[in-house]
Amino acid sequence: MLKGFFSNTREKGQHFEVIAEQYLVKQGLKPVTRNYLCRFGEIDLIMKDLNTWVFVEVKYRKATTYGGAINALSVKKQQCLRRSIYQYTQDFALHNPALRVDFVAIQGSSPHAIQWIKNVF
């Protein structure tokens, strides 16, 4: 059970980001960075899939209330993510990179319930 396991929401988020990263590495992606912060928001994971930059949003939900983890990527979060990705490409001088945005949803108290959606938007 995860109740009481984490001292705060940030710690819980980082735990599930590590789980998502490990899962994606097993699928062949290579980690670049985690928790890139800028004025527009945060990018949970940045990875490479061959020559493609992959920007990953990770969401965890314990219960399926309100649609669960798979429905947790709001339009507002997508807008912030787009702006953050643009900022990252500017900060690191990536000119017209091949990129995609993936979404990893982790549902329930078991980390085995992982859904990975490529090219979420």
Share of the chain above pLDDT 70, in %: 84
Average pLDDT, the chain: 88
**Average pLDDT, stretch 13-41?**
95
Closest by Cα among 55, 42, 63 to 102: 55
Answer whether residue 51 shows pLDDT above 90. Answer: yes
**Average pLDDT, stretch 34-61?**
96
pLDDT at 1: 41
Find residue 43's DSSP bridge partners.
36
Q: Enter the pTM of the model.
A: 0.87
Phi, psi dihedral angles at 99 (to 5 degrees) = -145, 160
Tell how far CA 117 is from the center of its chain: 11
For residue 1, the 8-state DSSP code is -
**Average pLDDT, stretch 96-117?**
87
Are 55 and 32 in contact by the 8 Å Cβ rule? The answer is: no
Class of domain 9-117: alpha beta
- How close are the terminal C-alpha atoms of the chain, in Å? 33
Answer whether residue 100 shows pLDDT above 70. Answer: yes
Cβ burial, residue 43 (10 Å; 0-12/13-18/19+): buried
Name the token pair of 14: 């980082």
Q: What is the pLDDT of residues 53-92, one digit of tens each?
A: 999 999 988 766 666 677 778 889 999 999 999 999 999 9
pLDDT at 112: 62
CA distance 90 to 94: 6
Share of the chain above pLDDT 90, in %: 63
Amino acid (one-letter) located at 84: S
CA distance 63 to 66: 9
